[in-house]
Amino acid sequence: MELGVYSFGDVQRSQTGLGPTSQAITNLLEAIQLADKVGLDFFGVGEHHTAYFPASSPATILAAAAATTTHITLSSAVSVLSTDDPVRVYQQFATANIISGGRVEIVAGRGSSTESFPLFGYDLRDYDALYAEKLALLLQINDLGPNEPLTWEGQFRAPLQNIAIVPQPDSPLTIWLATGGNPESSIRAAALGLPIAYAIIGGHMSRFAPLVDLYRRAAEQYEMKPSDVKIAIASPGYIAEDAKDAKDTFWKHWGWTMATLGKVRGFAAPSRAHYDAESQQDGALFAGSPDEIADRIIALHASIGHSRHFFQMDVGQLPHDKFLRSIELLGTEVAPRVRAAIKDKK
């Protein structure tokens, strides 16, 4: 079982409101380096383009992290492929992958927010078509043999005539497909031969068990290589020594984020009662003490059989020192308990 963290680059609070976005980026790099140091397996950077989540360029941060870490897997989580050029995405991640000695991956997804559409001049009405075409192109580039040129034509970018896409890492990038629960996405991942990452940000975790089952059945049907059939889970989480402290702290920051997000997406802010119900047992919010979080990961593994679980901790201006402490506890307290309980086959 691999454990890790993902982040959108959370901006700190200042006297006047939101702190500088520059600080969020240096904080993020520091967090990745700490995650590596405490023995965590994974760090993902999720592309966002807002004043409070400014990690707009994951590949750049990952390249810096690649050069300053030694063993942690570094990834986007997710790359919003729909509004980017797959050629450029590939080049940037391939470069970072080479710098890291093969530790950089891509998690591709539609992304949960749409702010990159107006930013890069795309039309939301092309939401599905953009994603399908760009994902297919990225996979095609990743599958090219050494120095094999590419010829491609599509709707949303200029055609490619016999062009080499460089640099190429020694082996293809690992590309995951991220989904938030649409059944068709589980089938799509298997049809494309990709490992899958489920983002579970609310409700009961167990509701994803049937979808995981669907993914596995589809993987058989599409004759995926068994070693490529992998399941990752991404969920909100925050760890502190004391369970109550962890829950109160995360409520303050997660609650703020949901209230803010609600305004953008048109839903009302969640209540503390709702939060409390979801931050225990089968709930999607992993806020608690190391023991509690370890137990919940182990229980979830028993029902879903995932091989990677990563947590979004720094939301809603969580103080940076608390973020770092939570990463440290995940690496030094939670991970050993989970690893001891789950005998990895790999």
Partner 1 sequence: MTSQMTPLLGIIGAGRLGTAVARQALRAGYSVQLANSRGPASLALPLSVLLPGAKAAELTELARTSDLIVLALPLHAYRSMSPELLAGKVVIDAMNYWSPTEGRIEEFVGSHSSSEYLQTYFSKSRLVKTLNHIAYHELEEDALPADAVNRRGLALAGDDLSAKQLVSQLINELGFEAVDLGPLARGVLFEPDTPLFNTRLSAAQIRTLTATTPS
Residues that bind ligand NAP (CB under 6 A): 182, 184
Is 252 near partner 1 (CB under 8 A)? no
- Give whichever of 152 and 215 is closer to partner 1, judged by the CB atom: 215
Phi, psi of 336 (to 5 degrees): -60, -40
203: enclosing H helix or E strand? none
Q: Given the structure tokens 């919003």, which residue do they identify?
A: 80
Among 274, 325, 337, 339, binds partner 1 (CB under 8 A): 274
- Give whichever of 120 and 267 is closer to ligand NAP, judged by the CB atom: 267
Is 221 near partner 1 (CB under 8 A)? yes
Beta bridge partners of 5: 43, 311
Q: What is the separation of C-alpha 211 from the centre of its chain, rounded to a whole number of angstroms?
A: 18
Cα distances from 229 to residues 198, 212, 325, in angstroms, run 13, 11, 33
Q: Show the CA angle centred on residue 48, arms to residues 45 and 52, nearest 5°.
A: 105
Q: From the CB of 265, what's the least distance to partner 1, in Å?
A: 7
Is 123 near partner 1 (CB under 8 A)? yes
The footprint of partner 1 on this chain (CB under 8 A) covers a number of residues equal to: 30
- Give whichever of 172 and 181 is closer to ligand NAP, judged by the CB atom: 181
291: enclosing H helix or E strand? helix 290-304
Residue 220 contact partner, candidates partner 1, ligand NAP, none, CB within 5 to 8 A by sort of partner = none
Is 193 near partner 1 (CB under 8 A)? no
- Give whichever of 143 and 184 is closer to ligand NAP, judged by the CB atom: 184
Burial of 190 (0-12, 13-18, 19+ CB in 10 A): buried
Q: Hey, what are 340's tokens?
A: 């001891």
Is 145 near partner 1 (CB under 8 A)? no
Is 229 near partner 1 (CB under 8 A)? no
Convert 197-236 to b/e letters by CB count within 10 Å (16 or more is b): bbbbbeeebeebeebbebbbebbeeeebeeeebbbbbbbb
Report cis status (omega within 30 of 0) of the bond before 118. Answer: no
The window from 84-92, 122-130, 155-163, 168-176 that contacts partner 1 (CB under 8 A) reads 122-130
Report cis status (omega within 30 of 0) of the bond before 89. Answer: no
Q: From the CB of 204, what's the least distance to partner 1, in Å?
A: 6
- Give whichever of 124 and 166 is closer to partner 1, judged by the CB atom: 124
Beta bridge partners of 28: none
The window from 148-156, 163-171, 227-235, 268-276 that contacts partner 1 (CB under 8 A) reads 268-276
Among 143, 148, 213, 291, binds partner 1 (CB under 8 A): 213
Among 65, 135, 211, 229, binds partner 1 (CB under 8 A): 211
- Give whichever of 184 and 213 is closer to ligand NAP, judged by the CB atom: 184
Element counts in the chain: helices (H) and strands (E): 12, 14
Q: From the CB of 110, what's the least distance to partner 1, in Å?
A: 11
Residue 264 contact partner, candidates partner 1, ligand NAP, none, CB within 5 to 8 A by sort of partner = partner 1
Q: Hey, what are 163's tokens?
A: 């062009």
Residue 203 contact partner, candidates partner 1, ligand NAP, none, CB within 5 to 8 A by sort of partner = partner 1
Is 184 near partner 1 (CB under 8 A)? yes
What is the residue-wise DSSP string for 31-57?
HHHHHHHTT-SEEEE----SSS-----
Is 183 near partner 1 (CB under 8 A)? yes
- For partner 1, the binding residues (CB under 8 A) are 114, 117, 123-125, 127, 181-184, 187, 202-204, 207, 210-211, 213-214, 217-218, 221, 262, 264-268, 271, 274
